[in-house]
Chain A
Amino acid sequence: MSEEQPNKSKASISHSRLAAKLFLGAVGMFGFGFVLVPIYDVFCEITGLNGKTGGQYAYEAAKVKVDDSRLVTVQFLASNNAGMSWKFEPAVREIQVHPGELTEVSFYAHNTGFEAMVGQAVPSVSPFRAADYLHKTECFCFNQQTLAAGQDIDMPLLFFIDQDIPEDLTKLTLSYTLFDVTASYQQTASNAN
């Protein structure tokens, strides 16, 4: 390289600037990957994309009009995830309700094992678009459940169907899957101490 490029120093400066910008872009996209998580949650909540139900909903009797003209069938399912050994089932398998009507049902759980366990119920609604119209004012799924060996419990669920539910949605399924979260519960507990 006997002939120096006259603009070499200028070129190398612009390289590092451009490289820095591109690097920042890459870091930004790494962050964007994580931002996708809350975006997805919000998106799901709006569209009911994955059948996740919303959190606790306040029932204001004044605002809700009970629609006596029609009935919606709500089907309850209970299942265990791998590693969860409790007996877990709905007290009633199916119920018919008027939109707007506050209804209480319960789920039965029984720890048949030899050790205390912590369970977390995860709700899911099908068809997905029905998720927006199912409001829970009280649910055992809002908290983890701890059962001693042999202990059993009736867990309440208070819900109502939104009066704006489309006419063609006459039946919806509310499923709970019970997960064993004993390990992570113990971890959090020991971290807290």
Chain B
Amino acid sequence: MSNVGTIESHDVHDDHHHGPAKGLTRWLYTTNHKDIGSLYLWFSLCMFLLGGTFALVIRLELFQPGLQFVEPNFFNQMTTMHGLVMVFGAVMPAFVGLGNWMIPLMIGAPDMALPRMNNWSFWILPFAFAMLASTLFMDAGAPNFGWTFYAPLSTTYAPTTVTFFIFAMHIMGASSIMGSINIIATIQNLRAPGMTYMRMPLFVWTWLITAYLLIAVMPVLAGVVTMMLFDIHFGTSFFNAAGGGDPVLFQHVFWFFGHPEVYIMILPAFGVVSEIIPTFSRKRLFGYDSMVYATSSIAFLSFIVWAHHMFTTGMPIAGELFFMYSTMLIAVPTGVKVFNWISTMFKGSISFETPMLFSVAFVVLFTLGGFTGLMLAIAPADFQYHDTYFVVAHFHYVLVPGAIFSIMAAVYYWLPKWTGNMYDETLGKLHFWLSFVGINVLFFPQHFLGLAGMPRRIPDYALQFADYNMISSIGAFLFGFSQLLFVFIVIKCVRGGKKATQEVWEGSHGLEWMVPSPAPYHTFTTPPDLPEHSHS
């Protein structure tokens, strides 16, 4: 049911008195959720391009067998930095940015609950990444022990720059935790009257659950890097067998953080897609309630599956079985979500604007990543898959056409609301198709490489892997350079273009479409009247 009502805009005239400050200080001191959302998104875009550059260095070296461009040690620095920058610099800040922009708009709140902390949680991030990236220019080199930084490679055998890495992780963690506290406070305290929990848009729901996940696990990450710090500098033996510690303990603690972290990167993506598909299918989201329950069960299950990353470390059979079964169970709620999205499209009235294209690709390719995830859950088969390119293909399928595609879909979807201008639809579609082809050429052959026996994180490989590596690298460059088009489209749209209407999309519904485009600097200073079915 599409029921875009018009809300009396109390806000437009206020804009004159309470508009943004001028110049750099606007951004430094801002407490406005829209400004901070934009800062997060721009920061994330920069990190996406930086992490992408690292990835292209990797794919360049792997284009052909032999060492042509970089030393093995620098290659390891690239894989490590690519992972860290993409996970903590690109994907997470992008979702925080989207949350900042959209959550207050979607629930009818005037701003985030804790605006000053909001400013802080953004502005410490550039320092964390500046510190992390600066290690590239130090004599000892950047961290080279993988983004999973297993001890003792990351403790006893680490380059001296590991301390910078640890502090950077602490700052990122603090930023995420502050961001999550803010989001929870906003959602729980600032919903417009009548915006009950079960009427909230799914993007808000997924973010609420994600924020709780973040508060639960980011401190554990902080804990594990603190233990590393103590092992390295203060002579403790958390992970050192000589002093009674255990390197496998590191993996347990790390993955206790790490697996929920994976869902932190995908749950908001589920939310985004659950907003976009109904809009372009011109039909309400199918199974709203079950979507909420499925998201919650995925979040719960994420805490009891961590050791499936550690099947080869040697575990009693009971442990292997427990983690195998619990991991397989995740397929159930994930399946429910996919079925719901498809049922939403079923008997709809579908059009294929860029956000919809990215969302449909999300459903298709994320599901593919889900299938390989299910395969990886099977412990005895995982003995063959573990730490090969099959795993690389799997998690890139859920993270790139999963998380990244959903972020792009979200940007195209809400960009007219943010800027007041429509983006260039032709270029948007071109960007989609280049990315879609690029991503599959890039990652699909990696399944074959992994099954045929190519380990991950190696700078050079045996000759039988040459063909698919070359194809994969070609896909990488296609995908990588297509993103410059994305940057161009976004900048072009910010600078001008066809004026967007208030509701922007024919099938749009929800509070964010009831304020003018571009959204005024202050919105919902008085709570809106809620239309019926605002959630879907």
Contact = CB atoms under 8 A, between A and B. Distances in A.
Given A49-B316, A181-B242, A26 B219 contact: yes
B316 A129 contact: yes
Interface string B212-251: 0001111110111011000000010010011100101100
Give the dominant DSSP class at B's interface: helix
Contacts of B526: 3, 5
A34 B185 contact: no
Interface stretch (A15-23, A57-65, A108-116, A152-160): A15-23
B180 A22 contact: yes
Interface in B179-208: 180-182, 184-185, 188-190
Contacts of A42: none
Interface in A178-193: 179-181, 184, 187-188
Closest CB pairs A-B (n = 7): A33-B223, A179-B242, A30-B219, A29-B219, A33-B220, A22-B181, A15-B113
Given A26-B215, A29-B217, A50 B110 contact: no
A136 interface: no
Contact of A50 (B182, B219, B242, B246): B246
Interface in A33-82: 33-34, 36-37, 40, 44, 47-52, 81
A11 B190 contact: yes
Contact of A23 (B10, B14, B181, B243): B181
Interface string B97-131: 00000000000001001100100000000000000
A33 B224 contact: yes
Interface in B154-197: 177, 180-182, 184-185, 188-190
A143 interface: no
Interface of B: 10, 14, 18, 110, 113-114, 117, 177, 180-182, 184-185, 188-190, 215-220, 222-224, 226-227, 235, 238, 241-243, 246, 248-249, 252-253, 256, 314-316, 318-319, 522, 525-526
Contact of B185 (A5, A15, A180): A15
B227 to A, nearest CB: 7
A40 B219 contact: no
A27 interface: yes
A25 B241 CA distance: 31
B184 A22 contact: yes
Contacts, number: 120
A65 to B, nearest CB: 27
Nearest to B522: A1
Interface of A: 1-3, 5, 11, 14-15, 18-19, 22-23, 25-34, 36-37, 40, 44, 47-52, 81, 120, 122, 128-129, 177, 179-181, 184, 187-188
A30 B222 contact: yes
Contacts of B249: 36-37, 40
B223 A1 contact: no
A128 B443 CA distance: 38
Given A26-B177, A29-B216, A34 B243 contact: no
Give the dominant DSSP class at A's interface: helix
B242 A32 contact: no
B242 A29 contact: no
A122 B241 contact: yes
Given A11-B189, A33-B220, A34-B227, A1 B18 contact: yes
A188 B506 CA distance: 72
27 contacts: A1-B110, A5-B525, A11-B189, A11-B190, A15-B114, A18-B185, A19-B113, A19-B114, A22-B180, A25-B215, A25-B216, A28-B219, A29-B220, A30-B219, A30-B223, A32-B219, A33-B222, A33-B226, A36-B249, A37-B227, A40-B249, A47-B318, A50-B314, A129-B316, A179-B241, A179-B242, A184-B242
B108 to A, nearest CB: 12
Nearest to A11: B189
B250 to A, nearest CB: 10
A5 B220 contact: no
Contacts of A120: 242-243
Contact of B235 (A37, A47, A177, A184): A184
Contacts of B315: 49
Contacts of B223: 29-34, 36
Contacts of B184: 18, 22
Contacts of B242: 81, 120, 122, 179-181, 184
A187 B235 contact: yes
Contact of B246 (A2, A31, A52): A52
A181 B224 CA distance: 23
B30 to A, nearest CB: 16
A37 B240 CA distance: 13
Given A1-B522, A184-B243, 17 more contacts: A1-B18, A5-B525, A22-B180, A23-B177, A28-B219, A29-B223, A31-B223, A32-B223, A33-B226, A34-B223, A34-B227, A36-B252, A47-B318, A50-B248, A81-B242, A180-B242, A188-B235
A18 B216 contact: no
A130 B152 CA distance: 26
Nearest to A30: B219
Contacts of A3: 10, 525-526
B262 to A, nearest CB: 17
A33 B185 contact: no
Contact of B188 (A18, A23, A25, A184): A18
Nearest to A3: B526
Contacts of B224: 33
Most B CB within 10 A of own CB, among A18, A128, A129: A18
Nearest to B156: A82
B120 to A, nearest CB: 12
A177 B241 contact: yes
A40 B181 CA distance: 29
Contacts of A51: 314
Contacts of A25: 215-216
B353 to A, nearest CB: 35
A128 B222 CA distance: 31
Contacts of A31: 223
B14 A1 contact: yes
A23 B184 CA distance: 11
A179 B241 CA distance: 8
Contacts of B217: 29
